[in-house]
Amino acid sequence: MRTPVPDYLDEVLDALRGDSTGAPANYIPELATADPDKFALSITTTSGSTYAAGDVDTEFSIQSISKPFAYAAALIDRGFERVLESVGVEPSGEAFNELSLEGDTHRPKNPMINAGAIATHSLLGAAGAGQDDRVERARRLFSRLAGRELRVDEQVCASELGTAHRNLAIAHMLHNYGILEGDVHSIVEGYTRQCSILVSVRDLSMMAATLATGGVQPVTGDRVLESDVARQVMAVMAGAGMYDAAGDWLTRVGIPAKSGVAGGMVGVLPDQVGIGAFSPRLDAHGNSQRGRRAFERLSQDMGMHLFSSDRGRLDSVGSDTQDGTTTFRLQGNVQFTAAAELLDLMAEVEDGNVVLDVSRVHSFSDVGRRMTLEGLRRLRLDGRGIALRDPSTTLPDPDLGDGTYPEESATGGLQV
Ligand code: GLU
């Protein structure tokens, strides 16, 4: 059997191919020469399968889609506190190239508008890193996220630098307020080079899927980002990724996303998928016209909305009592809800021994684990014998919080 997912993606592309409204960006001369009919879509799941359709191998410059990923690099290199000193996290409600800063702090409002992205670029690498180091830092991180070596398109970069007056004006303004340190021209040049890194839709869906897993590249298994960095990037994308259309996008489409003026778009649904789209004709907001519509279709057809409540429970809990021993069975990815239910059920046990069977659990969230072990500890304090059935060691080192462990004696022969 052939999986129908690529056929579905082909169908989405075919349905939207007729839309020739909008035009490629022309403020960067090199982008105006793009073939406007190119169209591609790619989805990568958190388990590492990629489904792609259309012009999947066409490369284009990443442009503003570099912003969330460069933000991740700055958070890693300088830490949250230092980055937040220079760049805020508030949606700006303004166009991407607005010359605006927060009134009191003079920080750019977020890393997704150019002012914030230029400040973010200046924070790449170690303090005082030169332009080559900053660009290489971005290129290397983007490559690890994509799972292949990416490169800078020097022609696109040179073309943009020839007309980068507005970004230079923004950078001078940032310098004036002490947000940018160092050579303004070199920072704008480095930022422009970062925007000129070439990607395909597959690269974009892979990079986004790495955010969706909380930082582990789903194909290479490389932990590229810590989960708090991935979460920060996705949260900022949700609030500010779509510039002045952020609220409309989040409510209607519900996929935290970022677009670039070359026609690329990236989207991420935590724990589910990363999405990449490419079509060079842009709408009035500077977003890919057909790319935006493809995201709208995916959200509707595939139930891909961050706040859709049709995903169901990720976990479940049950119990039964036989011969005076109560067995609790957990299943799935045990998070707060299942753990809370488990504790409610445990609270009803008045006598006999207890077995916790986690053989059908595939993972515990941190809070799920702590609550489960606390339940066992309290049952032990009540005088119950405790055993753990955990053949795949999903609950390693089940220290009950007081240095003690479940006893084998409760049921005999069980792993403890
Ligand atoms: N390099 C572009 C600029 O700074 C990126 C803009 C975009 O993709 O939205 O103008």
pLDDT tens-digit map of 268-311:
999 999 999 999 999 988 899 999 999 999 999 988 999 987 66
Q: Which residue out of 261, 282, 288 has the highest number of ligand 1 atoms within 8 Å of its CB and is therefore the one to mutate? A: 261
Closest-lying ligand 1 atom to the alpha carbon of residue 97: 10
Give the residue whose CA is nearest to atom 4 of ligand 1. 114
Of 412 and 404, which is predicted with more confidence?
404
**pLDDT at residue 414 in the model:** 47
Active site residues: 64, 67, 191, 243, 261
**Ligand 1 center–CA 222 separation, angstroms:** 29
Q: What number does the ligand 1 atom closest to the CA of 160 have?
A: 1
Q: Which of 31, 66, 160, 191 to mutate to test the pocket of ligand 1 (most atoms within 8 A of CB)?
A: 160
Mean pLDDT, residues 181-200: 96
- pLDDT band for 412, please (50, 70, 90 cuts): very low
Atom of ligand 1 nearest to the CA of 286: 9
- 196 Cα to the center of ligand 1, angstroms: 10
Most confident among 141-155, 237-251, 391-405 (mean pLDDT) = 141-155
63 Cβ inside 6 Å of ligand 1: yes
What was the pLDDT predicted at 160?
95
User: How close is the Cα of 195 to the center of ligand 1, in Å?
Assistant: 7
For residue 99, give Cα distances in angstroms to 75, 96, 115, 171, 177: 24, 9, 7, 9, 13
Q: Which atom of ligand 1 is nearest to the CA of 65?
A: 8
CA of 402 relative to ligand 1 center, distance in Å: 55
**Percent of the chain at pLDDT exceeding 70:** 97
261 CA to centre of ligand 1 in angstroms: 6
Q: What is the pLDDT of residues 321-346, one digit of tens each?
A: 999 999 999 999 898 999 999 999 99
Give tens-digit pLDDT for 71-128. 999 999 999 999 999 999 998 777 777 777 887 888 999 999 999 999 999 999 999 8
Is residue 167 in contact with ligand 1, taking CB distance under 6 Å? yes
Q: How far away, in angstroms, is 64 Cα from ligand 1 center?
A: 5
Is the shortest distance between the CB of 288 and ligand 1 below 6 Å? no
pTM confidence score: 0.89
Does residue 260's CB lie within 6 angstroms of at least one atom of ligand 1? yes
Instruction: Give yes or no for residue 261 CB within 6 A of ligand 1.
Output: yes
Give the mutation target among 60, 114, 163 for probing the ligand 1 site: most ligand atoms within 8 A of CB.
Answer: 114
Task: Find the 31 Cα to ligand 1 centroid distance in Å.
Answer: 11
1: confidence class by pLDDT, cuts 50, 70, 90: confident
**Residue 358's pLDDT band (cuts 50, 70, 90):** very high
* Digit-coded pLDDT (tens) for 224-244: 999 999 999 999 999 998 877
Q: Is 286 in the pocket of ligand 1 (CB under 6 A)?
A: yes
For position 157, what pLDDT does the model report?
Answer: 97
How confident is the model over 28-87, as pLDDT tens digits? 888 989 999 999 999 999 999 999 999 999 999 999 999 999 999 999 999 999 999 999
Q: What is the pLDDT of residue 408?
A: 58
